[in-house]
Structure 1
Amino acid sequence: MGKSSQKQPMFSPTDIDNIKWFWRNYLKDKSPWLLLVLAMVSAQALVYQQFLSLTENGLRVIFEDGSLSQLIKVCAFVFLLFGTRAVLSYVTPRISVWLASNAVRSMRQDLIKHLLRLDLSYFEKTKSGDIILRLVSQVDSLSHFVGQGTVAAVRDLATVIVVSGYLIYKSPLLFTAAMIVIPVLVLMMRGISGKIKEVQQSAENAFGNYMSGIEEMTNGMRTVKISGQEDRERDRLFEATNGIRDLMIRLNAVQALFPPSIDVVSAFVYVLVIGGGGYMVIQGGFGMDAAGIIAFLLGLVIMFDPLRLLASFFAQLQASLILLDSIRGVYREKMRITDHEGSVAEFNTEGDIKFDQVKFAYDPQHPLFEDLDLMIEGGKKTAIVGATGSGKTTVLSLITRLYDVDGGKITIDGLDVRDIKVKSLRSSFSVVAQDIVIFNDTIYENIRYVAPNATEEEIWAAAEAAEIADLMRARGSAPLGPKGSQLSGGQKQRIAIARAFLRSAPILLLDEATSALDQKTEEKIQGALQRLSKDKTTIIVAHRLSSVVAADKIYVLDMGQVVEQGSHAELIAKQGLYAAMYASQKEGYAT
């Protein structure tokens, strides 16, 4: 692994492509400001060149002329130079951070927009910790690097170039001898860069796992507490933090190779200049005197400090390239659920919904549906029941195009759902699900979430219809706690029902809407659901059969296949799987 890393170029084709992408999308339009920053950092570098020239003249004043007025004049110019540099040192980072913050804000906003357009499958296969890491930590680190690290590096590079130019002007021979070690530095940097990228990538993966672990712990804290597994969670997260620590130490160990390497090179060069320059002064004929050698040596001191910082910047650059590639990796994720050129926005939402020989698999090795046929009549209640894993909820996912079928087709009034614009299709559905998203806000705002432009009267009407208006009045502006922790399951369900009333779409999807409720609470909520489903095409997905008794038609799924269909009375009369499931659940209620 080490040898392969050393053979890698300092900048891979992917690195170069990512840098071009960032420049083209987020920095190119700010070119005038960037040129201003470049001019200011160049001016800071020129301060050092002028300082060297004034220092050399000042030394000659001391050693030769002995003029006090000339010495005062030199000192005044030096003070003026560094005063100018101080002003520029304040203004430059202010502008550069402003530029970088705006660029990275645009990138973060684009990242959010792209994420929200991605298919559901991306979020189901990607750990939330990885997404949070990219949106927060990696973007912030990149912002700091671009806004401060890069500008400082440009300033240091300008200093090296300007001071080098001055030293070459003073003595090309001495400068060439001093710079003979530069190829050694370049080879060393190339050898270390691959290792930095390797360790940084491992560190980012470890951070992603750590953040996912924290989220899993907080989401499952109720289970953790009840089962007394605090020590186990502590050990699990401690192990993750130990891994992050070890990787950070490894990364620092690699990055730390740069500064001492510069120091060793500096020592070699200083000795060479002192010895070689001293020989030039002693022998004469080289156009160098004591003041010139001192100024030359001072120039090297000034130049090698920025070189040391540039070496550290180079190490940070290798790590930041990993961050940039990780962030851009989100953009490489493509959307499969999209509109095509002939997609239509208008369709008959009251038509029949038909599954025609539908094939679908989450995993190609384990197909779920093979030639599935269903007919959901418009304006009627259709229930889909079956054991866990039979494909009930997947039916809803395919109708709403959260996934596309692998074969066959799904039509609404004869129109393939893939020929309907995604936004138009999904706007025709209202959903009441078991997994309800409740925000840490008021009940009023939680209901309004599905229709931000709804009037106050419409929101209160929806709350009244869902029988949660009294609680909304009682709680007023009080937030509901993270994920609605201050509400009961029945109260959360009523918020979901109120949202469906407010949205008032023509097709209603009830996905295990009462499965988490006790029988008494379910009976209370069923009244609101009955009002909600009136005159709408209603699809009920349920494991609890008491909620589907009134359906016009019931499909029984088993292992992705329809094994029975009919009304409740017809299925009971058949004495098949449905009748057995119903009898078992009824017996459970009785006990």
Structure 2
Amino acid sequence: MSSPKSANAFRNMISPETRDTVKRLFMTDGRRHWRGYALSFVFMGIMAATTSGLAYLMGDVINRIFVQQNSSAIWILSAAVVTMSVVKGFAAYGQAVVLSRVGNRIVADNQKRVLDRLLSQDVAFFSGNHTAEIMLRFNAGAQGARNVLNLIITSLGRDLLSVVGLTVVMIIQDPFTALIGLIVMPIAVGGVRALIRKVQKIFAREFHSAVLIMTESIDAFQGIRTIKSFTMEDQLTQKIYGRIDSLEKASNRMVRAQSQSGPLMEALGGVAIGLVIMYAGWGVLHGGRTPGEFFSVITALLLSYEPAKRLARLNIDLTTHLLGARMLFDVLDKPAVEVDPAGTPELEVKGGKIEFDDVFFGYRETEPVLRGLSFVAEAGKTTALVGPSGGGKSTVMALIERFYEIGSGTIAIDGQKIDQVTRRSLRSSIGYVSQDAFLFAGTIRENILAGRAGASEEEIIAAAKAAHAHDFIMGFQGGYDSRVGEHGAQLSGGQRQRIAIARAFLKDAPILLLDEATAALDSESEAEIQKALQSLQMNRTTLVIAHRLQTVINADRICVVERGRVVESGRHDELVAKRGRYFSFHQLQFAGQQERLSA
């Protein structure tokens, strides 16, 4: 039921982008799983053959049983119908199972590939993309690849073969009836072509609205304390309600556009059936044709109606899945940023001396953060970075772990430039504790084990005791198996911080970075954590960021960082004696404390 004209029309309504995406899917996932698709295609061929055979047998059923009244034909034809139906049922089961297994494997493989590619991106990538968009690409991309391939395979194997087989039956029984299909199909394809462009535009808007809803909802759920504190519920609900209403309208337009192909095919199908009944009925009554031929043709035409309708709207159905497949390729095509060249040496930490030499860096090209920063953190000693907010102190920590690449200058550890060693060896040598201790949504044990996978229970408990965390952990009903909640929401700030310190103890890295590790804590919690940190700092090169100077008075070296440069450095007493910038900070903080004490 096709012609050169209809084939050209079908090709023309497929955009080059769609053709390229489909081709790439078949060359990647399709090629990897061709055996499974070939087997499912065989099952679908059996289904198409049995469907066509049943339509053909209707002629013999009518002629031999009802016209010729042949008793023996009842048993033969009934057995044939039953056999074909059973074979069709088993084939349908086989193709469904095989296609599902292949599809599930494609989803699993692509999720692994996307995860690998995402984890090979740098921190800047995750800073510039919202979690909602990343998760949509992770899930919708893998699902889209499977859905596109399954839809095309089933359309070709089940629907197209069924239409071809049933058309052959109509040609055998009455060639003139096949001509009706040649007339109807181009009209159907041409009618659907205009709908495809409309559906693509609507779906793009619908997808954008869905991303915005997910983005703002995640922000709301993660920032629920801030929302409730500032009584933002009404403001937030109005904003998200507007997004939801917009998505509802787009979805309704999508349904209307997609549903327009149904009435078109219903009308054309009715016209085709009416013409066949008229022609075939006239042939039986006045043309000497048998009733069996009439019923066989009608059966074949009716059975071909649904697969023909699915084929006509194939491109519309592909639209929604192709966007997911393109999202998949967008991620997979991103170059892996954090991939070390083959042969890159590993970092060998002997003492842990950290050197910054004339380092320039900016998150944006026109907005420098570090402007020729130079300092040395001596091996086995504690170096503190102090200064006003925005001076670049936290940036120093991020650059040491190579979360970002510097613009110019050098950063070295024990004389080895960190951009010339593997990232894994570099980060394995560093323990990091920040004021915003991140905990995974698992158990306390799992979060401590993040410091060193495979550690024994004794080592976990020893790390928790060193972090002054063991006592409160054992106070929980589940002990180390207690769940911490999302981002550790079921723990207090001090408890989260001590688990993060236990994780650093378990890692036992020679270099330690402390970024305001006690800034957000009350005095009692801070005192406990300071004890743990003092134990952790022993025999390690430690770099500390602190706004409260009381916590770094005993540091071996204090560097005052302003506007991306070290403007002063020395021990506490030396810097106070200089009466420079450090002295100003010291006076502001301790004068305030004296005022509070005297009050």
Q: Tell me how far apart the structure 1 counterparts of residues 224 and 387 of structure 2 sit (CA, whole Å).
A: 30
Select which of 525, 541, 547 maps to 2:551: 547
Select which of 522, 526, 530 maps to 1:526: 530
Q: Tell me how far apart the structure 1 counterparts of residues 370 and 431 of structure 2 sit (CA, whole Å).
A: 25
- 1:415 equivalent in structure 2: 416
Q: For the structure 1 residues 523 and 84, does the alpha-carbon distance in structure 2 shift closer, same or farther, using more than 3 Å as the test?
A: same
- 2:438 equivalent in structure 1: 437
Q: 1:62 Cα shift?
A: 5.1
Q: 1:152 Cα shift?
A: 6.3
Q: 1:7 Cα shift?
A: 13
Contact 1:349 1:507 in 2 (8 A): no
Contact 2:352 2:379 in 1 (8 A): yes
Q: Tell me how far apart the structure 2 counterparts of residues 191 and 228 of structure 1 sit (CA, whole Å).
A: 48
| CA deviation profile, 1:392-438 (whole Å, cap 9, x unmatched) | 11111111110111222222233221110110111110011112122
Question: Per the alignment, in what secondary structure is the counterpart of residue 454 of structure 1?
Answer: coil
Question: Per the alignment, in what secondary structure is the counterpart of residue 187 of structure 1?
Answer: helix
Establish whether residue 259 from structure 1 lines up as the match of residue 262 from structure 2: yes
Establish whether residue 458 from structure 1 lines up as the match of residue 459 from structure 2: yes
Q: Tell me how far apart the structure 1 counterparts of residues 549 and 73 of structure 2 sit (CA, whole Å).
A: 101
Matches within 5 A, 1:329-368: 329-368=330-369
Q: Tell me how far apart the structure 2 counterparts of residues 250 and 445 of structure 1 sit (CA, whole Å).
A: 47
Establish whether residue 580 from structure 1 lines up as the match of residue 581 from structure 2: no
Question: Per the alignment, in what secondary structure is the counterpart of residue 557 of structure 1?
Answer: strand
Q: For the structure 1 residues 588 and 521, does the alpha-carbon distance in structure 2 shift closer, same or farther, using more than 3 Å as the test?
A: farther
Contact 1:26 1:104 in 2 (8 A): no
Q: Tell me how far apart the structure 2 counterparts of residues 165 and 543 of structure 1 sit (CA, whole Å).
A: 83
The residue identity in structure 2 corresponding to 1:109 is K
Contact 1:178 1:272 in 2 (8 A): no
Q: 1:288 Cα shift?
A: 5.0
Q: TM-score, normalised by structure 2?
A: 0.90
- 2:6 equivalent in structure 1: none
Question: Per the alignment, in what secondary structure is the counterpart of residue 36 of structure 2?
Answer: helix
Q: Tell me how far apart the structure 1 counterparts of residues 10 and 520 of structure 2 sit (CA, whole Å).
A: 58
Contact 2:117 2:336 in 1 (8 A): no
- 2:379 equivalent in structure 1: 378
Establish whether residue 67 from structure 1 lines up as the match of residue 67 from structure 2: no
Question: Per the alignment, in what secondary structure is the counterpart of residue 388 of structure 1?
Answer: coil
- 1:103 equivalent in structure 2: 106
Establish whether residue 197 from structure 1 lines up as the match of residue 200 from structure 2: yes
Q: 1:579 Cα shift?
A: 2.1
The residue identity in structure 1 corresponding to 2:570 is G
| CA deviation profile, 1:173-218 (whole Å, cap 9, x unmatched) | 4423431232233333333323323322322222222222222111
Q: Tell me how far apart the structure 2 counterparts of residues 304 and 291 of structure 1 sit (CA, whole Å).
A: 20
Q: 1:60 Cα shift?
A: 2.1
| CA deviation profile, 1:95-127 (whole Å, cap 9, x unmatched) | 221221122111112222222222111111111
Q: Tell me how far apart the structure 2 counterparts of residues 442 and 490 of structure 1 sit (CA, whole Å).
A: 17
Instruction: Name the stretch that deviates more: 222-231 or 39-48.
Output: 222-231
- 1:3 equivalent in structure 2: none
Instruction: Name the stretch that deviates more: 263-272 or 426-435.
Output: 263-272
- 2:4 equivalent in structure 1: none
Question: Per the alignment, in what secondary structure is the counterpart of residue 33 of structure 2?
Answer: helix
The residue identity in structure 1 corresponding to 2:563 is M
The residue identity in structure 2 corresponding to 1:540 is V
Q: 1:554 Cα shift?
A: 2.0
Contact 2:560 2:567 in 1 (8 A): yes
Instruction: Name the stretch that deviates more: 543-552 or 501-510.
Output: 543-552
Contact 1:361 1:367 in 2 (8 A): yes
The residue identity in structure 1 corresponding to 2:47 is Q
- 1:35 equivalent in structure 2: 38
Q: Tell me how far apart the structure 2 counterparts of residues 62 and 311 of structure 1 sit (CA, whole Å).
A: 37
Segments of 5+ residues of structure 1 without an aligned counterpart are 1-5
Segments of 5+ residues of structure 2 without an aligned counterpart are 1-8
- 1:561 equivalent in structure 2: 565
Q: Tell me how far apart the structure 2 counterparts of residues 411 and 449 of structure 1 sit (CA, whole Å).
A: 26
- 1:298 equivalent in structure 2: 299
Question: Per the alignment, in what secondary structure is the counterpart of residue 509 of structure 1?
Answer: strand
The residue identity in structure 1 corresponding to 2:34 is S
- 1:483 equivalent in structure 2: 487
The residue identity in structure 2 corresponding to 1:472 is I
Contact 1:206 1:243 in 2 (8 A): yes
- 1:235 equivalent in structure 2: 238
Q: CA RMSD in A?
A: 2.6
- 1:226 equivalent in structure 2: 229
Question: Per the alignment, in what secondary structure is the counterpart of residue 384 of structure 2?
Answer: strand
| CA deviation profile, 1:363-382 (whole Å, cap 9, x unmatched) | 12222223332322222221
Q: 1:449 Cα shift?
A: 1.8
The residue identity in structure 1 corresponding to 2:439 is I
Contact 1:203 1:247 in 2 (8 A): yes
| CA deviation profile, 1:533-567 (whole Å, cap 9, x unmatched) | 11211111222222222222222222323333322
The residue identity in structure 2 corresponding to 1:402 is F
Q: Tell me how far apart the structure 2 counterparts of residues 191 and 578 of structure 1 sit (CA, whole Å).
A: 72
The residue identity in structure 2 corresponding to 1:70 is A
Matches within 5 A, 1:508-519: 508-519=512-523
Establish whether residue 497 from structure 1 lines up as the match of residue 498 from structure 2: no
The count of residues paired between Structure 1 and Structure 2 equals 584
Q: 1:280 Cα shift?
A: 5.5
The residue identity in structure 2 corresponding to 1:450 is G
Contact 2:41 2:153 in 1 (8 A): no
Q: Tell me how far apart the structure 2 counterparts of residues 336 and 537 of structure 1 sit (CA, whole Å).
A: 29
The residue identity in structure 1 corresponding to 2:187 is V
The residue identity in structure 1 corresponding to 2:111 is R
Question: Per the alignment, in what secondary structure is the counterpart of residue 562 of structure 1?
Answer: strand
Q: For the structure 1 residues 264 and 584, does the alpha-carbon distance in structure 2 shift closer, same or farther, using more than 3 Å as the test?
A: same
Q: Tell me how far apart the structure 1 counterparts of residues 313 and 430 of structure 2 sit (CA, whole Å).
A: 56
Q: Tell me how far apart the structure 1 counterparts of residues 204 and 495 of structure 2 sit (CA, whole Å).
A: 45
Q: 1:584 Cα shift?
A: 2.0
- 1:26 equivalent in structure 2: 29
Q: 1:85 Cα shift?
A: 1.7
Q: TM-score, normalised by structure 1?
A: 0.91
Instruction: Name the stretch that deviates more: 216-225 or 144-153.
Output: 144-153
Q: 1:61 Cα shift?
A: 2.5
- 1:405 equivalent in structure 2: 406
